[in-house]
Structure 1
Amino acid sequence: MTSDPERSREFDASLFGWRYEAGDEEIYGGYVTAFVDGAPVAGMMKNDPASGNPDVWSTYLRVEDIAAAAEAVMAAGGKVMMPPMEVPGQGHMAMFIDAGGAVVGAWQFGGHTGFQLKGEPGAPFWHELHTREYAHQVKFYEDVSSWDTSVMSDSEDFRYTTLKSGDGSRAGIIDASFIFRRVLSNGQIYFGVADADAVVETAVSLGAQVIHAAEDSTFGRMATLADPAGAVFKIDQA
């Protein structure tokens, strides 16, 4: 969701090499799909400043039955932020607030079957939930989405659970209560890059803010950035 679609398109094209395809304005409200090497990797939609909502990236989880997913969210202590709706010719979507207060989307496949490239430069690399209610959130996603979870770490300073495990893992939940004392639960999206330092330099030159400078980790060289409108995202040079 971006309050300045044109600037966002230019910014992300400079960082990730994205190319774009806009949907019919009357049907899809100006929704834009981003591509890398011909594969869809992300989407953009106008964020009305009057809504009071910040510019933000969102993860959508695939569901088989969007109405059943909404019922499961409410039964597990979450809320329906945007009720299930049909996107003509593409599928069905909804937005939920999970039991810890984080916003997450849901998508029931139709003509649109999600991003088609993973881990490559410019494509989604990882999806992560930062939460102050770790055990509660893990159970929420196990109950609502039938996640097959795996505990990657359970030490006092690093608690982390993944959806599936090893090379088949798809997303993670981290206990952020000891890292970000005052931050509410929120989702984080990582995009793959070929050179993290070069991407950070380009982003700053285009008006981005560095939240966490590029540094090496067990999982690659990572950085956290906020684009010129404040939408936060992460990059990973694996």
Structure 2
Amino acid sequence: MPEVTSAYQPGTPCWVDLAAPDQQAAIDFYSSVFGWTGAIGPAETGGYAVCELNGKPVAGIMAAMAMGGQPPPPTVWTTYLAATDADATAGAVSSAGGTILMPVMDVMTLGRMCIAADPTGAVFGVWQAVDFPGAGIVNEHGALIWNELNTTDRSAAAAFYQSSFGIESTAMEMEGAENYYALKVGDRPVGGMQPMSEQMPPDTPSHWLAYFSVADADETVGKVTAAGGAALQEPFDMMAGRMAVVTDPQGATFAVITPKPME
């Protein structure tokens, strides 16, 4: 079982969560697709649900609520990047041309966070762990395995994440990976980046896409559609495995992949 036993290095995707109009329906959907367990949390946490897989935290689901006169957040999965100091990182984000959408705040004793957007418009979270480090299990069926930035300006995005998080981008020199870049913390790939696909609607904004590992991509897409979701890209074979891009019944997009065995 690939449990996470050490702290996430700064710049590494460490958590994902979803804001859904119908929180309980979202919990039920992902439980049926991935085998998660989860329940609406107590009032002091705003009802935030920490979903678990094999007893380890794997993702969060919250109710999409209007706050401070702002409309409710969109129904999307948000990728959080680890930071040792959320305040300093927020300053670096602003200095590098990003926008702070939700200022740094304490989340009880769990950690500190903010929500930001890069200069191309991709929204992400910043997480400074205190008592809660992030996902406790990754890279197995039902758990997060990859986070991918799809951007309208690759050069601007690369410069931003390098400046604000120290994330390096390196072209993937593999057949079938043209225009795909590995995002690295140190020498370790922690995510990917690519220009916006021509297959996406022309008004699609830059965004981070969360990938969940599954034992059988075709079977999982069947579960998604049976539970009221839809396939945006039916399962197909690619260099890293067999994947699909889907939406849940409330419109949140995510990817599933059956990874190729490690050589």
Verify same fold: TM over 0.5.
Answer: yes
Q: State the one-letter code of the partner of 2:34.
A: F
The percent identity for this pair of structures is 34
Match runs of 1:1-238 below 5 Å: 1-20=19-38, 22-25=40-43, 27-48=44-65, 51-153=71-173, 158-164=178-184, 168-176=188-196, 178-180=198-200, 182=202, 183-238=204-259
Deviating runs (4+, > 3 A) in structure 1? 165-168, 177-181
Contact 1:138 1:161 in 2 (8 A): no
Q: What residue is the counterpart of 2:16 in the other structure? A: none
Deviations 1:152-193 (A, max 9, x none): 1499x8312212289931111112265547222111000011
> How much does 1:149 deviate?
3.1
**What is the number of residues matched between the two proteins?**
236
Deviations 1:111-163 (A, max 9, x none): 110002111000001000000100110110000001133221499x8312212
Deviations 1:196-227 (A, max 9, x none): 11111111111111100011111111001110
Secondary structure in 1 aligned to 2:20? coil
Distance in structure 1 (CA, Å) of the matches to 2:87 and 2:174 = 34
Q: Which runs of 5+ in 2 are unaligned?
A: 1-18
Q: State the one-letter code of the partner of 2:236.
A: E
Q: Which runs of 5+ in 1 are unaligned?
A: none
**TM score, norm. by length of structure 1:** 0.93
Q: What residue is the counterpart of 2:10 in the other structure? A: none
Deviations 1:10-57 (A, max 9, x none): 1101110001254431x2100001111111110011102782532110
Q: After superposing the two structures, state which structure 1 stretch, 159-168 or 124-133, moved more.
A: 159-168
Distance in structure 1 (CA, Å) of the matches to 2:174 and 2:54 = 39
Aligned CA RMSD, in angstroms, stands at 2.1
